[in-house]
Structure 1
Amino acid sequence: MKRFLSLALALTVALTGLDTSQAAPHNTKNRDFVEVASDGKGFTLNGEPYTIRGANYWQGMNLGADDCSGGDRDRLDKEMELLVKMGINNLRVMASSEGPDDQKQRMRPSLMYAPGEYNEGVFQGLDYLLDAMDRHGLTAVMTLNNYWQWSGGFAQYVAWIDKNQTAYPLPEGDQNWDTFTKYSARFYNDTEIYEEAQGMWKKHIETVITRRNTINGKIYRDDPVIMSWQLANEPQEGPDAWFEETSTFIKELAPKHLVSAGIEAKLDQFDFNRAHTPKNIDYTTCHLWVENWEIYDPSNKSSIVDAQIYADDYVHSRAQWATELNKPIIMEEFGMARDAWIKPDDEVFKYSPDTPTAHKDQYYKGIFDNIVSLAKKRQFSGSNFWAYAGLGRSTDYPNQYGMVWVADPPHEKRGWYSVYNTDTTVKVIEEYNSQLKALEEE
């Protein structure tokens, strides 16, 4: 019988192209798909309440690649264990990145280096990441595009159609983000290129959703590890019809999975409702960036008070908006810099892994307390902090592709918002996760 099974496995490998060293199933427990609760007030998994105790781990796809493609699977496996120890059950990851790989401020190597052309090594990194998450009982939010340049994103699609050499319309050193955002938004606001841009992107969506995982043989659209497909990271003021059209397209390809929009929700309730009203957008999202929005100054010790007041109002107002739509809500991005106020004139100190995180810990705890309070009333479903750097450090030497895989995207200062495995913030996150877990069990 053993020899028969070995021959059967060999035949399966030959037919499917699976890696024999990884083909054996890792997770034998029954897994269902994450669903929205029947009353719209949260999520369920296997018929039980499911809160999102999450982290952003956008770099996971590239860490999961093999050595030749710039990955570090040993580190990824260790970080999976650390995340589970923290009580994390959900990771928001990139399921897209666009080349060419000679561009600045870009994830390298990219998943799709040219329209419809893929780096198989990076794709297998995504396979490995999902399989590792399955082994550790985690679920994934799969982000399919990006309004910002650090993964290529919308602007790269525009550049491909325009035949530009670069997706950045800004001169070196120009920080006029208004110029860039208008360029990026052409992806869905320019009627002359809309059909071509969306068609190109939908081919990518279909390629990812219908992919067969080379590690475990599962087709992505049938894999319960995937909780949600997300249209894009922070699509800014996208057209109403785009949210409707794209969410419907994804739902038809992957009817077992949830779909989310990925918006910040930093504007008003009208903008929030436009993105979240379509029937195939299953839940709502919000992001909170007090420093980027000029509410918090990490060099000013007293500004933490303003940050917390703003965050308190933000969490409660967005929870109310979601309640009115009768859809769950996740705070899927928020972060804070290290304590630059200790040495406000020292730029190196601001981003050093050794710099304390007293303000960050206080700020995280304030947000977490609000979410737990609202979750008890089933008005909030969890969060994903930004972002987990794990064993990486801002001081690490770049790999062969010039990348340092921490939690800060390539266009930002390394160490700005990263949460390292040794940070005191980890204890704050652990306590919060234990409180949410306890709510599931009540």
Structure 2
Amino acid sequence: MKQLLLACLLLSQLVQARPVKPDLAARLQPTVFAVTMVMIHDVVNPPAASRFYTYCLLGAHEIVAQQRNGIVSPASFTRNFPHIQINSKERYDYRIAALYCILETGRLILPSGSMLEEEQQKLIDQLKAEGYAEPLIGQSVRVAQEVAKTILSYAAADNYGKLSARTRYRPTKQDDYWYPTPPGYIEAIEPHWKTIRPMVIDSCNQFAPRPPVPFSKDTTSAFYRLAHEVYQVGNTLTDEQRFIASYWDCNPFAINTSGHMSIGFKKISPGGHWMNITSIATSQAKLSFDKSLMVHSLVAMTLMDAFISCWDEKYRSNRVRPETVINRYISVRWQPLLQTPPFPEYTSGHSVISTAVAELLTYLIGADFSFTDTTEILFELPERKFASFRQAADEAAISRLYGGIHYRDAIENGQAQGKALGEFIVGKLKKAGVTPTL
């Protein structure tokens, strides 16, 4: 009896001495956010950010899908996805490989990707400290590196590399067309983004919205009423409306001027905000590593397709911004609360992408999933509670009216555009066998 008790005591001591390996799902949010921070550093524009998120997560998604039966491969619903065969004679941990693949793809594809080398080493050091064997870590890293190379080849064929060779955008001074706005008068961002290969949707114009209200200087016209609404709302904002506008600003191009001095402020992109909401929601829902990574990947792909769809319309309608119209025809001194982004007005980008992602997250996680968004704490704004993803998307959309940077029809028609796109992607995922995570 004494020998049995002694054996049990020794076993208990051994178990207690063994390092506790935390759930690697907890590593996913900081890994994705490390990619976000590099994009903030590089002032990556919103459409390009969605592309980088997609490719950084795509290889990781495939690594998990090849090991876990419940995770559907991206090849089942994406366009021209490459065949990836992981031939590893040595044992590896697919979760470690997936995490490292996110960082490795970011290292290779982002302008300042080398900044992620420190994150890669930090991840390896943490895994060692938690008791993962070095041979296992090493082989997982090698698998990640091989998959990342394949993803980079896939990304190279999406027409992104051809953008700089296309005809440079030249704004016209006709009254109804977009023209660069103060204070930076930045040239048009990504005028040829519609040529980027989509991930899930069929084409850039598959979800073209209804045409915008026609431009008119007539004070009795529908367009003038739209412009005057922006003017009036901007002059009578409540504290709550000001906060909502600032909360969803997400403008990587913000410039603050004082006299002859201009200071740039780096902020998260609209897609970056929704990627972080995804991290918050998957963590709060206590999703497994496998499901959490899949949700992140699907959100990134939806963002990418939504930006392609929205940017197709922006440079087709090429519509003038409220700031320009109001300064010309209503009040020369009026300024929007938010800085006007450097691209045409119609449709509202945040309205399109937020609504599309909200439809996806509603399907994957739930229609009444409440969460607390802490994304903007980094930019000195408090947390904000939402009863659902759709509520958050609705607030993001109307924030553009409060901010003075969009007319109402660009917001409402943008929401319809995003909803149609989101529902199409959900339909594709259902056919491929992707089921809700909860």
TM-score, normalization by structure 1: 0.27
TM-score, normalization by structure 2: 0.28
Relative contact order higher in (CA < 8 Å, ≥ 6 apart): 2
Query: Which one has the bigger helix percentage?
Result: 2
Query: Which one has the bigger strand percentage?
Result: 1
